[in-house]
């Protein structure tokens, strides 16, 4: 398993835990951290023994967004001529987007556990996850508006499928903070907790439950949910018919039925 400088990665019993590890900078995303996130989720997608992923932030905050030094580095690296400057800037933004697309595209469910600040790119990161948990004191915000820019790595594109459009526009236009409690009411997070320990405990229990399911059925479920988000109802129904015609595992299906008849828990191959 690959090691990283700014991420902690462990895998045990089919559960991968990824920890953002720049606590002294509130896990703000440096250039290297962006790239390590992309590499990490591409790696986990390819590992057949990984069935579910828990994403955490070390220290008091989940992620304070992009490290401001990255903005300065980007601006200093751009050419002066307008056309070439625009083209290079576009490629840089697409490259940053791809770091979170790697989370969205990863075939294993990703559970984000959020404490403290989850702002700017931090919010865009968890928007790419499947399930979000938070402590009541967590703070979510689309902070880019306070930097004089439009958020550009996924929150305005993914959050409309998660929270209501009116609330999203309010957050995007004002940059105001959304508490963990309010985030739960808005369905940005699935569950809200009084303490980090309680949140991590729930995340672990959820991960164990998911890891015990057929990994092929879990991959199919994520594939269908993402496809349905991006396609019409008719296309989505046609796709699941084709998917199950080719991917439905008779071994997993019959093993599940036999285990239930015996009152046992089924076991599935990676």
What is the strand order of the sheet 7-12 is part of?
A: 7-12, 15-20, 52-57, 110-114, 131-135, 191-193
Among the listed ranges 35-39, 75-79, 82-86, 191-195, which one has the minimum average pLDDT value? 75-79
Q: What is the average pLDDT score of the chain?
A: 94
Q: Where are the beta strands (DSSP E) in the chain?
A: 7-12, 15-20, 52-57, 110-114, 117-119, 131-135, 139-141, 178-179, 191-193
> Which pLDDT does position 72 carry in this prediction?
80
By the 8 A CB rule, do 63 and 28 touch? yes
Per-residue pLDDT averaged across 240-257, rounded?
92
CA distances from 156 to 56, 75, 168, 213 (A): 22, 23, 8, 32
Give the pLDDT confidence of 90-113 residue by residue, as tens digits: 999 999 999 999 999 999 999 999
The pLDDT of 138-155, averaged and rounded, is 94
On the question of pLDDT at 1 being above 80, the answer is no
> What digits encode the pLDDT tens for the residues 19-31?
999 999 999 999 9
Question: How many percent of the chain have pLDDT more than 90?
Answer: 82
- Asked whether residue 213 carries a pLDDT value surpassing 80, the answer given is yes
User: Widest CA span of the chain, in angstroms?
Assistant: 71
Residue 246, pLDDT score: 93
Residue 207: pLDDT band (50, 70, 90) is very high
Q: Span 117-143, mean pLDDT?
A: 97
> Residues 109-121: pLDDT tens digits?
999 999 999 999 9
- SS3 (DSSP) at 16: strand
Hey, how many other C-beta atoms are within 10 angstroms of the C-beta on 86? 12
């Amino acid at each position: 398993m690959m090691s990283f400088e700014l991420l902690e990665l462990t895998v045990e019993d089919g559960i991968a835990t990824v920890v953002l590890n720049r606590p002294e900078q509130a896990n703000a995303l440096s250039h290297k951290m962006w790239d390590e996130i992309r590499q990490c989720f591409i790696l986990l997608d390819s590992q057949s023994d990984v069935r579910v992923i828990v994403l955490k932030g070390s220290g008091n905050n989940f992620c304070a967004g992009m490290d401001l030094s990255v903005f300065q580095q980007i601006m200093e690296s751009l050419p002066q001529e307008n056309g070439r400057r625009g083209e290079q800037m576009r490629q840089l933004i697409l490259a940053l987007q791809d770091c979170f697309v790697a989370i969205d595209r990863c075939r294993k469910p990703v559970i984000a556990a959020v404490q403290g600040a989850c702002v700017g790119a931090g919010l865009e990161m968890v928007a790419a996850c499947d399930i979000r948990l938070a402590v009541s004191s967590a703070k979510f915000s689309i902070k880019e508006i306070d930097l004089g820019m439009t958020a550009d790595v996924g929150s305005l594109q993914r959050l409309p499928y998660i929270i209501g459009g009116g609330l999203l526009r309010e957050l995007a236009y004002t940059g105001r903070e959304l508490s963990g409690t309010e985030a739960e009411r808005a369905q940005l997070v699935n569950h809200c907790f009084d303490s980090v320990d309680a949140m991590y405990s729930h995340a672990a229990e959820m991960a164990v439950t998911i890891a015990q399911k057929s990994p092929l059925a879990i991959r199919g479920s994520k594939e269908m949910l993402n496809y349905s988000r991006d396609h019409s109802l008719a296309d989505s129904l046609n796709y699941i018919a084709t998917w199950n015609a080719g991917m439905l595992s008779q071994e997993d299906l019959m093993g599940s039925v036999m285990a239930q008849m015996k009152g046992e828990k089924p076991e599935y191959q990676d």
